[in-house]
Amino acid sequence: MTKLKEIYKCEICGNIVEVLHTGQGELVCCGQPMVLSQEKSLDVGNEKHVPVLEKKEGKIIVKVGQEPHPMQEEHFIEWIEIVYKGGKSCRVFLKPHEKPQAEFVNNNEITKIREYCNVHGLWVNN
Ligand SMILES: [Fe+2]
């Protein structure tokens, strides 16, 4: 059974979907099961993916990596999402050559921040 907000990817065509309503069935694309993206929170190696938060004046700026993550055509941060208490969420989609960061409202009710790297998958703040 799927869980709310899980992210699944098709390893053949690259489709990525998010679960907005849970169900019993298996998610299938291109004739095979889609793969669940596990939320990772521990950086290893040179590239940093764990979201870094900077709070100022009612806003929260989320940056990907202390050292900015690459934003090249073949390797970039696709989106950054903030999840607030009560289920409200906001996602900013990014493009190659933009900064790997996004700005959100800081209402002090943040439960989670996630980001998705097209090469290294799904990451979450601790
Ligand atoms: Fe990456």
- Residues 54-110 have pLDDT tens digits of 999 999 999 998 889 999 999 999 999 999 999 899 999 999 999 999 999 998 799
Confidence of residue 33 (pLDDT cuts 50, 70, 90): very high
Q: What is the pTM of this model?
A: 0.93
90 Cα: distance to centroid of ligand 1 (angstroms): 21
Q: Are 27 and 66 contained in the same domain?
A: no
13 Cα: distance to centroid of ligand 1 (angstroms): 19
Confidence of residue 45 (pLDDT cuts 50, 70, 90): confident
Q: Are 19 and 63 contained in the same domain?
A: no
25 Cα: distance to centroid of ligand 1 (angstroms): 30
Question: Is the pLDDT score of 46 beyond 80?
Answer: no
Q: Which long-range contacts (CB under 8 A, 24 or more apart) does 50-55 make?
A: 50/123, 50/124, 50/125, 50/126, 51/80, 51/113, 51/114, 51/115, 51/123, 51/124, 51/125, 53/113, 53/125, 55/106
Between residues 43 and 101, the one the model is more confident about? 101
- Rounded Cα distance between 51 and 108, Å, is 17
CA proximity to 101, closest of 62, 68, 74, 72: 62
71 Cα: distance to centroid of ligand 1 (angstroms): 9
Question: Is the pLDDT score of 47 beyond 80?
Answer: no
In a domain, 88, yes or no: yes
Token duo for residue 17:
């979907």
Which range marks the domain in which residue 22 is found?
Answer: 7-36
Token duo for residue 95:
């493009």
What pLDDT, on the 0 to 100 scale, is given for residue 60? Answer: 95
Residues contacting residue 55 through CB under 8 Å, at least 6 positions apart: 61, 106
Q: What is the CATH number of the domain that holds 114?
A: 2.60.40.730
5 Cα: distance to centroid of ligand 1 (angstroms): 21
| Domains of the chain: total | 2
Q: Are 15 and 70 contained in the same domain?
A: no
